[in-house]
Structure 1
Amino acid sequence: MITVIHPTILRSVLEFPGGLLPARIENSGKLLLIIKIPKEYILAARIKSGFSFYLAPLPSTSGLTVALTTAFFDDGDEPLVIKTPLFDEPLGKDLLELLTYDEFEVYFFDEHGREWMSHRASVHDEGSLIATGEEFGLLSYHPQTVNSIYENLERWFGCRTVEDDVNAIKVVFEEELSPPDIFILNFRQDDHDYLGSGGFSHSSLERENPGYFQERDIVAGLKRAFRGEQLALNPMRRDNGKEFVDVLAVNNTHLLLVQAKDSPNTEVSLSRTIDRKRRTSHSQIAKGVKQAKGAAAYTRGHQNLELSIEKEEFDIAVDGKKVVSLVVVQEMFTDEGDAFVARYREMEGSGDVFVLLDYAAFNAFCHEFPDEQQLLNAFTDYGAKILAKGIWIDPRSYVLEFIQERLGKLP
């Protein structure tokens, strides 16, 4: 495992927001590949013993350029994908170099920096632009260029042909570099300083009963912005003994009420049809919104929340705090924006702020807004813009716009 062989690399992995991260090995000068992605992508790669790179040809004003889609085939037609713009910078050049190798080492991490598997992999390229020798160039970085590449890359991949599938660069796992079926048991005190933690947690890649894992992953995400003492897992109402929310976060100005909905991460669940996955997403959203309504209504009707966790009683003063209702589901489909806007309208009168995100988008918010007020302001602004414009805004686009604004202010 790379975190054992090269422990200093973990800091870079934790700081990396996600995607493809090449790293050069000092003694050989060769590149290895770190892939930081959600658990579903990792399991799909393990089940299929590999993944594919699509080097997409894209037109530009200066000639032919390329961008990269990395596909993990849980579904033959609509796989899980990472979209990576390639610019005339070290990252883009290193990724292109990596694609010319006959083999390389690849290491898989999830969004919390947990290393789940690693392989020596062979590379098979029989038809990409690299294999055919067609000339292309890399563009200089510019925020508007990034947006254009993402849009064109998504369009290209959605309209790809059988020939494009044949010409994809296949990465095939040849040798495991880490033990299979890793089980992680975490006793770090700093990771379990929130109410209801139990003092430890465990995690695994395959998850039959997802609730335990997702709720703790949500807490781990929120801990980037909140202190442990501000967070509570599975608080119960003392008046009726029922669960209030899955996760509660509180500060001087806000109450963040989180409802979490996930699906098993197994070969059976990943192999379900897209139609089945859509129905599951619809069901999760409906249940999450219903629970969010109930929690928000209860909060607005009380000056003080009388709660308990494992028989330990505690009170939360509402005191005019703004209520942020957050529903986190496993997956959302970007072509269903009108239905998502309808949920925002439905929740408009239930609390001060409502936000609906899939887990990957939630993690992106937590990574880019690692301060409690920044995060709460981002949730508020995101939800307000959807209601004001009456159209759904892809949360990844919202976060990307923030990143670009921040980079534009750097000296």
Structure 2
Amino acid sequence: MLTLKHPELAPLVYGYPGGLLPIRHPESGKLLLVIKARKEYILAARLNSGFSFYLAPLMSTSGLTVALTAFFDDYEEPLVIQTGIFNDPDGKDILELLGYGELDIHFLDEHNREWMSYRATLRDGGSVIAERTPIGLLTYHNETVTGIYAALTQWFGHRTTADDDKAIKVVFKDELFPSDIFITDIRPEVHDYLGSGGHSRSTLEREDAGYFQERDIVLNLKSAFRGPQIALNPVRRDTGKELVDVMAGNSTHLVLIQAKDSPNTGSSLARTLDRKRRTSQNQIEKAVNQAKGAAKYVRGHDILELTVDDNDLDVEASGKSIVSLIIVQEMFLDEGSQFVARYREMQGLVDFFVMLDYSAFSQFCYEFPNDQDLLAALTTYSSDIVKNGIWIEPQAYVINHRKKRMGR
């Protein structure tokens, strides 16, 4: 595994939020590629024995520039990683490695678990690199990034068969270490939250989605909250039924989380777009109903009498702002009006309601790594949706919030 063989690379890899990261091999000097992505992307690449790079030609004020999309899934509902290529070391490294005939690729998820590594061949079907087209890379700036991503999304959505033919096909050739692995984690600092049991397990292919997603949510929360502020699967002492999947709190807020995920298997990834939509809608429906029940219980009690792993836990709720957070596997951008209706539906039951897909939730936790900042960002996001009656794409919200914080 990359970071075991070369621990000096761990700070760089572990500190990277996600996407495509080119790295110089410390011994050969040749570039390798780290792809940090969600489990669905990694499994799709493994099942398809590769993926494709689309090097999109885009016009700018300085002439032809490029941006990159890595394509991992079916044509109808693709899983993509978008990457702007700028006039900086990373941008130049990406262009260099795309010209290789052979490339070592290492896949990690958002929690730095390395699931697979391959030596792959790159077959260029006629990209601007193969055609030696002059390229003018742009200087990195937040406004430029926003424009590049918008143009790349439009280009990819309207690409032609000719564009598909010109993609750079990545074909896995040799495993650098076995990919069918099972990870057991017993680190005390990772499992200091209530209900952890002191250990956890993880696999890439997941039939029992809930167990893994709940613990991944806790790992994200631990960037903002201390372990003892988080409880996994708290149970009401009066009924013996689970209150929420995950609960987190501090002196001012109590966060109630309902989580819904789907199995990560070949058959689940192969579902039609219509089936994926219906699955997402059903997950939201069930989660909202559960969130209502949890909210009513919390509103009716100054002290929540709970148990976690058969240990009594009394949580003070009186005077705290109640945040209801729903996390589902995926949300579809064109269903925004339905999402806003859910926000309206939860008004009055809690102080703030937030609904995110898992990827957006991870991004919020990464961008706001302390409890007060994270809670402020989530509540402002929720307030803006309710006030304007328009659903806000959460990842775009995080980017805009970052620009405001930087004074741009």
TM range (shorter): over 0.9
Q: How does 1:5-20 map to 2 (within 5 A)?
A: 5-20=5-20
Q: What's the offset of the Cα at 1:118? A: 0.2
2:22 corresponding residue in structure 1:
22
2:149 corresponding residue in structure 1:
150
1:135 corresponding residue in structure 2:
134
Q: How does 1:350-361 map to 2 (within 5 A)?
A: 350-361=349-360
Q: What's the offset of the Cα at 1:141? A: 1.4
Q: What's the offset of the Cα at 1:76? A: 2.5
Tell me the alpha carbon deviations over residues 315-369 of structure 1, each in whole angstroms, 9 at most, x when there is no partner. 0011210001000000111111111111111112210011000001000011111
Report if the CA contact (8 A) 2:301-2:318 is conserved: no
Report if the CA contact (8 A) 2:117-2:179 is conserved: no
Aligned partner letter, 2:27: N
1:295 corresponding residue in structure 2:
294
1:403 corresponding residue in structure 2:
402
User: 1:250, 1:303 → 2: CA distance?
Assistant: 14
Report if the CA contact (8 A) 1:107-1:117 is conserved: yes
1:390 corresponding residue in structure 2:
389
Tell me the alpha carbon deviations over residues 253-309 of structure 1, each in whole angstroms, 9 at most, x when there is no partner. 000000000000000100111110010000001111111111111111111100002
Note if 1:47 corresponds to 2:47. Answer: yes
Report if the CA contact (8 A) 2:125-2:169 is conserved: no
User: 1:281, 1:191 → 2: CA distance?
Assistant: 30
SS at match of 2:174: strand
SS at match of 1:366: helix
Q: What's the offset of the Cα at 1:408? A: 4.9
Query: In terms of mean alpha carbon deviation, does 400-409 or 11-20 score higher?
Result: 400-409
SS at match of 1:132: coil
Q: Please, what TM-score do these two structures have when normalized by structure 2?
A: 0.98
Query: In terms of mean alpha carbon deviation, does 7-16 or 317-326 score higher?
Result: 7-16
User: 1:383, 1:171 → 2: CA distance?
Assistant: 40
User: 2:234, 2:86 → 1: CA distance?
Assistant: 47
2:370 corresponding residue in structure 1:
371
2:208 corresponding residue in structure 1:
209
User: 2:387, 2:96 → 1: CA distance?
Assistant: 45
1:125 corresponding residue in structure 2:
124
SS at match of 2:57: strand
1:258 corresponding residue in structure 2:
257
User: 2:337, 2:151 → 1: CA distance?
Assistant: 23
Report if the CA contact (8 A) 1:330-1:359 is conserved: yes
Report if the CA contact (8 A) 1:248-1:256 is conserved: yes
User: 2:7, 2:382 → 1: CA distance?
Assistant: 40
Report if the CA contact (8 A) 2:76-2:273 is conserved: no
Tell me the alpha carbon deviations over residues 65-110 of structure 1, each in whole angstroms, 9 at most, x when there is no partner. 110011101x223210011111111111111111010011000000
Q: What's the offset of the Cα at 1:180? A: 2.4
2:281 corresponding residue in structure 1:
282
User: 1:142, 1:76 → 2: CA distance?
Assistant: 31
2:99 corresponding residue in structure 1:
100
User: 1:325, 1:281 → 2: CA distance?
Assistant: 18
SS at match of 1:380: helix
User: 1:368, 1:36 → 2: CA distance?
Assistant: 16
Aligned partner letter, 2:68: L
Q: What's the offset of the Cα at 1:406? A: 4.3
User: 1:356, 1:132 → 2: CA distance?
Assistant: 45
2:180 corresponding residue in structure 1:
181
Report if the CA contact (8 A) 2:231-2:246 is conserved: yes
Tell me the alpha carbon deviations over residues 199-222 of structure 1, each in whole angstroms, 9 at most, x when there is no partner. 100000000010000000000000
Tell me the alpha carbon deviations over residues 138-159 of structure 1, each in whole angstroms, 9 at most, x when there is no partner. 1111211111111111111111
User: 1:14, 1:295 → 2: CA distance?
Assistant: 35
Note if 1:325 corresponds to 2:324. Answer: yes
User: 2:128, 2:160 → 1: CA distance?
Assistant: 15
2:246 corresponding residue in structure 1:
247
Q: What's the offset of the Cα at 1:126? A: 2.0
User: 1:7, 1:217 → 2: CA distance?
Assistant: 24
Q: CA RMSD in A?
A: 1.1
Aligned partner letter, 1:158: G
Report the identity percentage.
Answer: 62
SS at match of 1:106: strand
Query: In terms of mean alpha carbon deviation, does 320-329 or 137-146 score higher?
Result: 137-146
Question: 5+ unaligned residues in a row in structure 2: which ranges?
Answer: none
2:231 corresponding residue in structure 1:
232
Aligned partner letter, 1:400: I
Report if the CA contact (8 A) 1:10-1:113 is conserved: no
Q: What's the offset of the Cα at 1:135? A: 1.6
User: 1:305, 1:28 → 2: CA distance?
Assistant: 58
Q: What's the offset of the Cα at 1:313? A: 0.7
SS at match of 1:328: strand
Q: Please, what TM-score do these two structures have when normalized by structure 1?
A: 0.97
Q: What's the offset of the Cα at 1:407? A: 4.6
